[in-house]
Structures are given as structure tokens and as C-alpha cells.
Amino acid sequence: MCGIVGYVGPGSAIGMLLGGLKRQEYRGYDSAGIAVIDDAGELETRKRAGKLGVLLGDLDGDSMPDGHTGIGHTRWATHGGPSDANAHPHLGDGGRLALIHNGIIENFAELKQEVLDAGGVFTSETDSEVAALLVGSLYRETGNLTDAMRRVVTRLEGAFTLLVMHQDEPGVVVGARRNSPLVVGVGDGENFLGSDVAAFVEHTRHALEIGQDQIVTIRPGSVEVIDFSGAPVTPHAFEVAWDASAAEKGGWPSFMKKEISEEPEAVAKTLIGRIHDGAVTLPELEPLAEVLDDIDRVVVIGCGTAAYAGMLGKYAIETWARVPVDVELSHEFRYRDPVLSPRTLVVSVSQSGETMDTLMAVKYAREHGARTLAICNTQGSTIPRESDAVLYTHAGPEVAVASTKAFVAQATALYLLGLYLAQRRGTLDGAQIAAQLAELQDLPDKLDQVVDAASARIAELAHWMGDTQSVLFLGRHVGYPIALEGALKLKELAYIHAEGFAAGELKHGPIALIEPGQIVFVIVPSPRDPSSLHPKVVSNIQEIRARGARVIAIAEIGDVAVVPYADEVIRIPFAAPLFEPLLAVVPLHIFGMELAMAKGLDVDQPRNLAKSVTVE
């Protein structure tokens, strides 16, 4: 989960690298560094612990010579804490070679010993430095940077994206990847490398995917790709679907606030082109067409917020398509020896498409005969490439580390999948499908209402609660994943202990946590649905109020039953039961952000986190 960038071309390498790192800083921000081959042919590096701003300040105070070949790195620390010495780039061949790395080299200890035994000297605690020294010593032997890279990466185990350059080869940057992201930006007389397209989208929207175990060599006028055996590869080209401005704050105080405001649009854009005449059309699922009707089980995998979206999908798919659905955390699924068959559809949910836990679970599922479908928000990312088919969400770039608009887009895609399966299986008739699709299409407007109506009051509440130490969240049925999501947001944004519970579970133990003044958010189902759990949730509220809890209810406009039992009611428009969660989650996203702001915290880049967790 680091951000990497490479550049070759007539432009300012320093300018291109710092711009690319700035757009990828959400991938990790423990340290940052760049290396360029200057116009005198010397390799220059500068690296500093801390966020990119620290490096920028250092360069402002003490400029470094510029050039037209460079690599840059913004780090999320794995081996070795955040420090200048552990920052990338790392050097080899006596300082004539620079290398940056995203991932974990699992066999670095034995390789490090080999280098030490050969007289090598390490200056850092990182695993990455061993790759720099190995490529450097091989370059001295071969004089060919691509070949030196290839001979080293075939010895590495684990997950890595490596970029390397050598001062004897200005105009050349070589990249290699295994289980870690790498994409190429193809410019006019210039070329780019990045962890994701954000690295270069302001310069070009023409991109190339670099696949598993592939090596790319970029020069200003050429891009050459080979596999680890040395055989040439023709990379898949694609056009980046969004422009640079979409990844900018655009005047918003934070990416978080901007992206919450984009939740309605994220749903709307994910629906575009997929509903025709009251029916669902998903041509992206063509690769699964022959097997889709025989699927007898769905397993939805993901991590964090993506997993909670998966939980919503479970309710929808089972209700509509009558197919059994399990939802599992990717990192648990892969290691529990799950029972899979060719009639199992494993659906991965991932905003970044690079989450290593989920990627490895997808690979495991395929290796064990299951069919795989990726629900992903990032074009050209790895998980879709490793899946049989992909259903992209179109939430646009999500830069804030805490996921918001991607969540509602993921749920939307899962609902479309559920209705598509129901359509193919005939478990819903045309009128029923059309009615559910109408509910989906009503969501963007309703979400707009929630964002507009809830924000001011929640901001006041958050500032009043600035010193709270614990918040609980309760929800039933589809409200339960929302309770979990609301708790996660508070943990990752405001650094507050928060826990989500199934409301029915409270009396089986957790109610002991309730003491006078305990703040509890409750997601209240609509009272309009006769089978709703509304009365039971109101009873749950009474149980905790009787013990002194301060209750903030998320409830439908017009629901008067909750008023006597809640200290605060945040109103949301009516929506059918399965759709209410996509409205109820927004006040909780806003609350997490506002409480973090009340505490003066960085809502876009919370401590200890990274946007894409590309290590297991």
C-alpha cells in the first residue's frame, strides 16, 4: 500500500514525480522520496520521513538538480518504521542505481544474508533495500537494467512492485510486478508508471495494464513488456474513465466531504447503462453466461467497508434470487479450507481492486474451481484481471482513505446482481423486477435529500460529542451492516472506540455496556413495512434508554413512534426495507467525518491507515 510513480520524457522529472505522488499519497504517507538522473548524468535522491509535505518543504529549502528520468515513492511502513533511512528510494551499485518498492519481499532475510556475505552494506531496516543491492550488483555484470531486474524478481517471494533506474541509462525506467499494482501511462514522447492511474491522469488518459509476473521498460518513445521468462507480452490498453479534476478536491475542505457529497452520483453512475425497459442488463457478465444459471451458492468476500457492502448484498440476493449467500472476510475465507465447486460464484468487493487479502482469496477461489466476479471501482486494477468477470462501480476516484461513496456504489452493484440473477432464474416476475429497479433509481434523489438535510445537525451533534470516548451502533436485518459501517467510520476517522451490534443481540450480553450517558446510534426500520422490525427496534431503544443511554435514532421522516425514546432523531426519506440502508449510512459517514474534524484530525489521511492495503 505505497504509492509509486515513474517518469521518462522531456518534462521536469521532479515536477512529474511530485505531482504523481501527491495524487497517490492516500496510498501511504509515512515517508516520501524521489530520485532523478540530472542533466549532468548524475543520480540524485531526496527522501524524508513524514507526509509528502515534509519532502516538499525540504526541497523548497534545498533544491535538487532536475532531470527527465525519475522515480518517486510515498510509503506505508511494513519493515522498518517511518524514518529518512527507511524511506524509498533505496540505492544500489554504489549509489548509481535507485529502486522503489511497494509490497513485502517475504524471503528478504535469506537474500539479505547472501548480500551481507558478499560484502554488501545496508543502510536501512527495510526488505526493499535488498532488491536495490541485488539489481545493482547484477547490473554491474550485465549492463542491462531490464535483464538485471528480471534475474532478481524471479528470486523474490511475496508481493512487490519494483521500479528501478540507473544513472548509466538516462531515459529508462524499468518496472516489475507480482501481486501488487502497476499501470503505465502512455504520453506523447513521454511515459509514466504508477500504482494506479491517479499517478498520471493529469498528463494522459491512455493506459496499459501490467499483468502478474511482468516487467515493463519505459523510454520516452517506447513501452516494452516481457514476462518473467523474458517472453514479450502485448499489454491490454484502456482509457481512464475520469479526468484529473475528479481526483482534485475542487474547492472542498476535504476529499471526505467531497466524496460524501458524491454518494448520490456514485449510485446514479453505477446504474447508468444497466437498466433498460424495467429490466437489468449486465453485458459485463457475459464471460459467466454459461454457468450463471447453474450457480447454487454465492460467497461474497471483502474487507472492512467492502465486506459490509457485501452483507447488504446477501440480504438482497437471497431475497430476490433465492440463492444461498455467505459473506466472508477475505483473509478468513482463504485460510479456512472453504467448500467450493464450479457451481459456487465468489463475488469479491473491492474499491481499489488491489487489496491483497481479497486478491489472494480470489486466486484461491479460482484455483479451487469456483467462478469469480469482481465488483470494483478502479479500472486496470489487479482483482478484476484475476477474475472471470468484473462489474465496475462508477463512483469515480475515491481518494479519502475512509470509504464512503464506494460503499453505496458497491451495494448498488450487488443489488443489480441480485435482480439480474432473479431475472434469469424467474424468481421475480417482470413487474417485481421493475418495482425494485424503480426503488434503486429513486435512491440518488433521496440521497441528495439526506446529504442536504442531515449535515448541519450532525455537525452540531459531533461538536457537542467531541470528547466522547465510546459510541455504540445498533441495527437489525439490513440495518446491522450499517451499524458495523458506522462503527468502523468512527474508529478510523475519530480514533474512538466504537462497536456495531445486531440490535437483537444486545440483550445477550453487550447491554452490560450501557451506562448513563452512553451514546448509541440506532438505525430504525421503516414503520410502513408490515413485516418490518420497527416495533422490535423501538423496544431495543427502550431497553437501553431505561439504562441511561443517549439515543440518536436514524429514522424515516414521519416516524413518530421513536420520538419519545430518542434524544435526537436524524430523518431520512422513506425507502423500501432493502433500500433504506443506503440512506441510513450517509448520516453515519457525516458523523464520523464531523467528529474527526471536531477533534482536529486529518479526515482524508487518518493515522496508521492506507487507502489500499496491498499486503496480507
- β-pairing, 67-75 vs 97-105, is unpaired
- Alpha-helix runs per DSSP H in 79-233: 108-117, 128-142, 145-153
Find the shortest distance in angstroms from Cβ 376 to ligand AGP. Answer: 8
Q: Is residue 233 exposed (0-12), middle (13-18) or buried (19+ Cβ within 10 Å)? A: middle
Choose between 1 and 138: whose C-beta lies nearer to ligand AGP: 1
| Residue among 134, 247, 268, 306 that touches ligand AGP (CB under 6 A) | 306
Residues of this chain, 66-105, that bind ligand AGP according to CB under 6 A: none
Question: Would you count residue 351 as binding ligand AGP (CB under 6 A)?
Answer: yes
Burial level of 114, CB count in 10 A (0-12/13-18/19+)?
Answer: middle
Residue 263, interface with ligand AGP (CB under 6 A)?
A: no
> Residue 436 CB, nearest distance to ligand AGP (Å)?
25
Q: Which three cell numbers stand for residue 123?
A: 543502510
Name which of residues 28 to 67 contact ligand AGP (CB under 6 A).
none
User: Judged by CB, which is closer to ligand AGP: 36, or 299?
Assistant: 299
Q: How far is CA 84 from the centre of its chain?
A: 27
Among 180, 191, 350, 526, binds ligand AGP (CB under 6 A): 350
Residue nearest to ligand AGP (CB): 304
Give the footprint of ligand AGP on residues 574-593 (CB under 6 A): none
Examine residue 355 and tell whether it contacts ligand AGP (CB under 6 A): yes
Of 167, 372, 400, 165, the closest CA to residue 305 belongs to 400
Report 386-405 residues binding ligand AGP (CB under 6 A).
401-403
11 burial type by CB count under 10 A (0-12 exposed, 13-18 middle, 19+ buried): middle
Contact 180, 127 (CB under 8 A): no
- Give the nearest distance from C-beta 352 to ligand AGP in angstroms: 3
By CB under 6 A, name the one of 38, 190, 196, 492 that touches ligand AGP: 492
* Residue nearer to ligand AGP on the CB measure, 204 or 412: 412
3-state helix, strand, coil in the chain (%, to 5): 40, 25, 35
SS3 411: helix
Cβ distance to ligand AGP smaller for residue 204 or 305:
305
**Cβ-based nearer residue to ligand AGP, 146 or 350:** 350
Return the number of the residue (242 or 574) whose C-beta is nearest ligand AGP.
Answer: 242
When the beta carbons of 485 and 556 are compared against ligand AGP, the nearer one is 485
Least distance CB 111 / ligand AGP (angstroms): 29
Q: List phi, psi (to 5°) of 556.
A: -65, 145
Residue 400 C-alpha cell reads as 479519502
Tell which residue, 108, 106, 100, 109, has the closest CA to residue 75. Answer: 100
Long-range CB contacts (< 8 A, 24+ apart) of 602-607?
Answer: 603/254, 603/256, 603/257, 603/400, 603/402, 603/493, 604/26, 604/254, 604/255, 604/256, 604/399, 604/400, 604/401, 605/25, 605/26, 605/29, 605/51, 605/401, 606/401, 606/402, 606/492, 606/493, 606/495, 607/495
Cα–Cα distance measured from residue 487 to residue 501, given in angstroms and rounded to the nearest whole number: 9
Judged by CB under 6 A, which of 186, 303, 451, 454 binds ligand AGP? 303
47 catalytic residue (yes or no): no
How far is residue 512's CA from residue 534's CA, in Å, rounded to a whole number?
23
Number of alpha carbons in the 13 Å side-chain half-sphere of residue 65: 11
Distance of closest approach, residue 614 Cβ to ligand AGP, in angstroms = 9
Phi, psi of 30 (to 5 degrees): -80, -25
Residue 494's φ and ψ, nearest 5 degrees, are -105, 0
Nearest-angstrom CA–CA distance, 87 and 32: 6
Q: Does 128 bind ligand AGP (CB under 6 A)?
A: no
Number of chain positions touching ligand AGP (CB under 6 A): 15
Q: Which is nearer to ligand AGP, 168 or 602 (CB)?
A: 602
The interface with ligand AGP within residues 358-387 (CB under 6 A) comprises 358
Kindly state the smallest distance separating residue 554's Cβ from ligand AGP, in Å: 19
> To the nearest whole angstrom, how small is the minimum distance from the Cβ of residue 612 to ligand AGP?
5
Residue 63 to residues 44, 59, 320, Cα–Cα distance (Å): 11, 5, 62
Which of the following is catalytic: 2, 112, 314, 405?
A: 2
- Report how far residue 14's alpha carbon sits from residue 32's, in angstroms, rounded to the nearest whole number: 13
The Cα 48–Cα 51 span in angstroms is: 8
Task: Single out the segment in contact with ligand AGP by CB under 6 A; choices: 271-279, 302-310, 469-477, 547-555.
Answer: 302-310
Please choose, out of 141-149, 190-198, 206-214, 299-307, the segment that lies near ligand AGP by the rule CB under 6 A.
299-307
Q: Is 614 in the site for ligand AGP (CB under 6 A)?
A: no
Instruction: Supply the minimum distance, in Å, between the C-beta of residue 259 and ligand AGP.
Output: 11
Give whichever of 162 and 593 is closer to ligand AGP, judged by the CB atom. Answer: 593
Minimum Å gap between C-beta 408 and ligand AGP is: 13
**Which residues touch 108 (CB under 8 Å, ≥6 apart)?**
79, 127, 130
**Residue 284 CB, nearest distance to ligand AGP (Å)?**
18
Q: Does 24 bind ligand AGP (CB under 6 A)?
A: no
Nearest to 343 by CA among 375, 296, 379, 406: 296
Annotated active-site residue in 257, 314, 363, 611: 611
Q: Which residues of 492-514 are buried (b: 16+ CB within 10 A; e: fewer)?
A: bbbebebbbbbbbebeeeebebb
Determine the interface stretch with ligand AGP among 150-158, 298-306, 449-457, 577-585 (rule: CB under 6 A). 298-306
611 catalytic? Reply is yes
- Whichever of 352 and 455 has its CB closer to ligand AGP, that residue is 352
Least distance from ligand AGP to the Cβ atom of residue 492, Å: 6
Which of the stretches 128-136, 176-184, 332-340, 352-360 binds ligand AGP when contact is defined by CB under 6 A?
Answer: 352-360
**Alpha-carbon distances, residue 516 vs 283, 507, 539 (angstroms):** 54, 17, 18
Task: Pick one of 120, 304, 310, 592: the residue that binds ligand AGP (CB under 6 A).
Answer: 304
Is 305 a binding residue for ligand AGP by CB under 6 A? The answer is: yes
What is the contact surface with ligand AGP in residues (CB under 6 A)?
303-306, 350-352, 355, 358, 401-403, 492, 612-613
Q: Which residues form the catalytic set? A: 2, 611
